[in-house]
Amino acid sequence: MTISTFSLPRNIIYGENALDHLSQLTGKKAALVTGGSSMKRLGFLQRAEDLLKQAKFDCIIIDNVEPNPSIETVRRGAKAMLDFQPDWIVAIGGGSALDAAKVMWCFYEHPHLSFEDIIPVGAMPPLRTKARFVAIPSTSGSASEITAFSVITDSRNHIKYPIVAADMVPDIAILDPLIPAKMPPDVTVHTGMDVLTHALEAYVSTAATSFTDPYAVEAIRLVFENLETAYLQPENMTARFNMHNASALAGIAFTNASLGLVHSMAHKIGGEFGITHGLANAIMLPYIIQYNRLSTDKYRQLEKTLRINDLIDVIRDLNRRLNIPSTLKECRETAIEERKFNAVLERMSKNALADPCTLTNPGHPDVEDVRILYQQSY
Ligand code: NDP
Ligand code: MN
């Protein structure tokens, strides 16, 4: 029998106006890290700064973290931190802003390290010699506020590198549903289906245990019961609260049990065609469940627990109600031409097979299986 580890996040402050908790922090200097414009436009950045000032902090703002944050952005932020010497780092935004802030923190604590130094699992030296970390997610999706992961892109070759370090789990996660309540409908749907995929892949993962399953099942139940409402009634705070918590619960499951083939395949099609991550997951999920069903009994157990007849039907129906197409070629936002798709199919299939998420997939595909799954999803 293998020996497993199960880690829980440090502190989670959740509920409407949980953001106010920032006024309770004690320290001297805070570096606020955020994305492009949403947190500024919606007033949340200003509020975070005001709350920190109430707590007598001096603040700097490190902004303009782009989607799929780059090594250069991380270096720029670390340099600003080295000049300012914060004792708290407060990241507010989507997964991109949170992920970038985590790695800025690493380089602030250890300025002599190169990006290559921190890529191998277990390579990160201890953090918290200079600062602690608060994560305030503005999407209900990536769960970066909970996880030991960060995804940083090398802009020279467009390769996304997952950085893994237990020390990168934030000290405090603030889950204030008033923030994701401002997500536009498409971001709500795509990030919400990403949550469902995290939870489902963690549940059927070969590394799932009785410690991770309850978090995964609860996240799946919450998505099924709340995502459509969050989409149709953006200001419905019960649905937003449940989706925001579901994202973090799924995060607890997948930071311990890892993911599977849906993520492997979505990462590669995202790299080739720039299709939104959660949308790619949502489209491919039913095809990959069909494939994985042959290798695991857990979908049947889940159907029993949730009292549903057929998981694939439930997901197809949910996708339809969320206006998600059933194939990749029907995506209007990114035209995936058949000629281009066929030209890169073999490479994508090989790369998806080599993605670390494939390691814990319940079915054990070969390149041919992955290629067929891409073709079915196309
Ligand atoms: P992003 O952080 O990339 O944000 C997507 C878009 O949504 C941005 O344009 C952002 O605008 C906007 N936005 C964010 N919040 C709001 C809001 N409340 N209202 C209006 N607009 C908003 O998206 P995700 O959260 O999906 O994160 C994706 C990233 O997370 C990827 O880089 C992925 O690789 C990574 N990831 C990390 C994981 C981890 O464990 N660390 C796990 C899974 C994925 P603006 O920039 O203006 O704020
Ligand atoms: Mn994901």
Domains of the chain, start order: 11-175 (3.40.50.1970), 183-377 (1.20.1090.10)
- 72 phi-psi bin (left φ>0, alpha ψ -120 to 50, beta other): alpha
Q: Furthest-apart CA pair in the chain: how many Å?
A: 60
Residue 174, classed as helix, strand or coil, is strand
> Does ligand 1 come within 6 angstroms of the Cβ of 39?
yes
Does any ligand 1 atom lie closer than 6 A to the CB of residue 162? no
Ligand 1 pocket check: which of 7, 98, 99, 256 to mutate, most ligand atoms within 8 Å of Cβ?
Answer: 99
Burial 20-33, CB ≥16 within 10 A → b, else e: ebbeebeeebbbbb
Residue 174 · residue 21 · CB < 8 Å: yes
- Predicted interface score ipTM higher than 0.85: yes
User: What 8-state DSSP symbol labels residue 327?
Assistant: S
pLDDT recorded at residue 160: 83
Beta bridge partners of 272: none
Rounded CA gap, 361 and 264, in Å? 10
Pairing of strands 159-164, 149-154: antiparallel
Task: Tally Cβ neighbours within 10 Å of residue 243.
Answer: 30
The DSSP code for 66 is P
Helix (H, G, I), strand (E, B) or coil at 96: helix
Q: ∠274-278-283 over CA atoms, to 5°? A: 90
Token pair in block for residue 69: 């944050």
What is the DSSP secondary structure assignment for residue 325, as one 8-state letter? Answer: -
Q: What is the pLDDT of residues 359-378, one digit of tens each?
A: 999 999 999 999 999 999 99
Q: Which residues of the chain have pLDDT under 70?
A: none
* CB 139 less than 6 A from any atom of ligand 1: yes
CA of 182 to the centre of ligand 1 (A): 13
Determine if ligand 1 sits within 6 Å of the CB of residue 38.
yes
Task: State in Å: Cα 108 to ligand 1 middle.
Answer: 23
β-strand pairing of 58-62 with 88-93:
unpaired
Q: Considering only CA atoms, which of 330, 311, 320 is closest in space to residue 189?
A: 320
3-state DSSP assignment of residue 260: coil
Residue 15 zone, left/alpha/beta (φ > 0; ψ -120 to 50; rest): left
Distances (CA, A) of 120 to 116, 257, 359: 8, 19, 17
CB 175 within 8 A of CB 137: yes
Q: What is the DSSP secondary structure assignment for residue 92, as one 8-state letter?
A: E
Whose CA is closest to atom 36 on ligand 1?
A: 142
φ/ψ (deg, to 5) at 225: -90, -15
Question: Which ligand has the nearest atom to the CA of 177?
Answer: 1
H runs (alpha helix) in the chain: 38-41, 44-54, 71-84, 95-109, 115-118, 185-204, 213-232, 237-257, 261-273, 277-292, 298-306, 311-321, 338-354, 367-377
368 backbone φψ class: left, alpha, beta (φ>0; ψ -120 to 50): alpha
- Beta bridge partners, 61, equal 32
